[in-house]
Amino acid sequence: MSVSDATPEPATLRGLVVDWGGVLTGDLRTAVQTWAEADGVPLDSYVATMRDWMGEPYGIEARLNPIHALERGEITVPDFESRLAEALTVRTGRPFDADGLLDRLFHHFEHAPDMSGLVRRARTAGLRTALLSNSWGNDYPRDGWDEMFDVVVISGEVGMRKPEPEIFGHTLDLLGLRAQEAVFVDDLRHNVDAAVALGMVGVHHRSYGESLLELEALFGIPLS
């Protein structure tokens, strides 16, 4: 278990902000690998393309980054799919079907009912709750969200993305909380670090069991 870099007294914590992919779903690497095998995409070629676009190390802005543009809603899904298919074709010498590429990818994302239940119990216990997700233009399975979240922030709908400070500030404003009053849970370490830098408490999600124990310790309430 990794305890946050900054841990205020539990009584000061009033809000829980969670990511979607990799927190409220199963492991992203498994989903991507399953999609790559089903679509006939060499996984190493996909990973290399992502690194080219994201920069090295992950999270540093590259000169031209279609991923960040998609997450902010600055390009359309078909445009991104065309760019990704073209990049994979150039890298492998094989043509790839761009149409519906992201739908096929997100088809392999599996719901994590244990984490959804945790968020629902946190809200029932009186905590303010929010979803904060970087979108790839995908349709989210929103059934039950009214019972889970007070606030939903999707990057492509607000023109901002994690780990940009503005999107955290926007989420906190909607919740009516100060940074020091909120815990942020994400499976990507650089997003957690960005939240902590703003004064939030960060939890790096690796498993339901680890996150449950850490959140119960932070809030001082049972969430199982």
Distances (CA, A) of 129 to 96, 101, 174, 175: 40, 32, 10, 8
Given a cut of 90, whether residue 3 has pLDDT beyond it is no
Is the pLDDT at 2 greater than 70, yes or no?
no
pTM above 0.95, yes or no: no
Residue scoring higher pLDDT (62 or 69): 69
- Domain boundary (87, 106, 125) is at 106
Encode burial over 144-168: b for 16+ CB neighbours within 10 A, e otherwise.
Answer: eeeebbbbbbbbbebebbbbbeebb
CATH number at residue 177: 3.40.50.1000
* Residue 146, in any domain of the structure: yes
Give the pLDDT score at 65.
87
User: Is residue 126 a part of any domain in this protein?
Assistant: yes
| pLDDT given at position 54 | 81
What does the pLDDT average to over 187-207? 97
Instruction: Label residue 82 by pLDDT band (50, 70, 90).
Output: very high
- The answer on 174 and 70 residing in a single domain is no
Reported as type and span, the H/E element at residue 16 is: strand 15-18
Q: Mean pLDDT over residues 185-201, rounded?
A: 97
Identify the domain boundary among 71, 106, 141: 106
Give the model confidence (pLDDT) of 107-140 as tens digits: 999 999 999 999 999 999 999 999 999 999 999 9
Per the structure, the complete domain to which residue 97 belongs is given by 28-106
